[in-house]
Amino acid sequence: MASNPSSDDNLLQTPLNALHRALGAKMVPFAGYDMPVQYKLGVLKEHLHTREKAGLFDVSHMGQLRVNGADAAKRLEAIVPGDLQALKPGRMRYTVFTNEQGGILDDLMVTRFDDHLVVVVNAACKTEDTAHLKKHLGAAVQPLDDRALVALQGPMAAAVLARFAPEAAAMAFMSGAYLKVAGIDAFVTRSGYTGEDGYEISVPNAAIEGLAKKLLAEPEVEAIGLGARDSLRLEAGLCLYGHDIDTTTTPVEAALTWTISKRRRAEGGFPGAAVIQKQLSEGPKRLRVGIKPEGRAPAREGAELADGTGKVVGRITSGGFGPSVNGPVAMGYVDAAHAAVGTKVNAIVRGQALAAQVAAMPFAPHRYHKGT
């Protein structure tokens, strides 16, 4: 008897799919891809291992693009509020695509070079982002579909990568460079999504499995799945698109005003600038904040936040257990009046009011590389 095709047959695969399976990963659908949520270590140990040593993440599902032209930074500024013209060659910045209402279409990383930019966008948004970029920047936009991407994150990431690419050790945090990694032509940035020092390494699809195996063979490195990627970024206070930010949240409400320079605030010139400038001058009505439940029970995405009288004042957009914090952590939106650190709120979980406080983020201190 023929078996029914599973829905998994429609999922895309990264070039590391066979390696994930060989490593015993538990695979789940994520943003249209068949991705490892955890390996044999499990989410908790994978999270702690990354904070203690180094973790390797397959992020090949993310969209990599190149925008050609010496004027690419100036042209891209038409659709993002980030100050790309202030970037020196080889430096990178986090920014967002905004819509006409000031909402966020996606968040992205941009690295600037003399004659081009390298852009990395979210997997779930990459089709729309590519169309959006092409609409505004035309033929200058070149999707890099032939390249895979891995992140090597953790306090020992630099020592590990230096064995394969000695120049990587001297890279500044939030910089990018074209390097040979284990003899492979790679684009390397010193950046990540964990709050730790680390790198993202882009190489041709055909070369990624060999490189991943070499990195995993180093004693400090373990393969890390999407589960720990999520708990690491949550402890680091970093947004997950589609959860903490989306088309209904502006960068001001999302506490991402630090991504908009003085010049861009003054000049505008990006979609939704009027809305964002008004919120910058008057303050937003709601704000993304950290939420620390006082007990042991996690408060997860969707949980309402109420004041002492039971009035709903916000909602959790990401929440769970922070393995390094060894307790529950969350983030979400609250009314401006309840956004000060230390404000007491109740998270409504399974009908019960759990005591919580508005908390400063990150929950786990950032340990990015300082210097050069």
Partner 1 sequence: MADRKFSKDHEWVEVAGGVGTVGITDYAQGQLGDVVFVELPAVGKKLGKGDNAAVVESVKAASEVYTPVSGDVTEVNQAIVDDPAKVNAEAEGGAWFFKLKLGNAAELGDLMDRAAYDAYLKTL
User: Which residues form the interface with partner 1 (CB under 8 A)?
Assistant: 37-38, 42-45, 47, 227-228, 231, 296-298, 300, 320-321, 323, 328, 350
| Residue (225 or 251) nearer to partner 1, CB | 225
Nearer to partner 1 among residue 21 and residue 74 (C-beta): 21
Q: Which is nearer to partner 1, 144 or 299 (CB)?
A: 299
Please enumerate in sequence order all residues whose Cβ is within 8 A of that of 72, keeping only pairs 6 or more positions apart, or say none: 112, 115, 116, 117, 137, 140
Minimum Å gap between C-beta 49 and partner 1 is: 13
The nearest distance, CB 164 to partner 1, in angstroms, is: 31
CB of 19 to partner 1, least distance (A): 21
- Phi, psi torsion values for 178, nearest 5 degrees: -90, 115
Nearer CB in complex with partner 1: 251/322 = 322
Please name the amino acid found at residue 305: L
Rounded Cα–Cα distance for residues 36 and 224 (Å): 8
Closer CB to partner 1, residue 276 or residue 291? 291
Q: Residue 294 CB, nearest distance to partner 1 (Å)?
A: 13
Residue 1 or 217: which CB sits closer to partner 1?
A: 1
Taking the complex as a whole, how short is the minimal distance between the CB of residue 26 and partner 1, in angstroms?
9
Distance between CA atoms of 48 and 322, rounded to whole angstroms?
10
**Cα(168)–Cα(161) distance, rounded to whole angstroms?**
7
Q: What is the closest distance, in whole angstroms, from the C-beta atom of residue 349 to partner 1 in the complex? A: 8
> 86 or 325: whose CB is closer to partner 1?
325
CA Rg value for the chain: 21
Cβ density class 245-261: b for 16+ within 10 Å, e for less: beeebbbbbbbbbebbb
C-beta atoms surrounding 269 within 10 Å: 12
The partner residues of 202 in beta bridges, in order of sequence, read 149, 187
Closest approach of Cβ 322 to partner 1, in Å? 9
Element (H, E) at 287: strand 286-293
Is residue 108 within 8 A of residue 76, CB to CB? The reply is: no
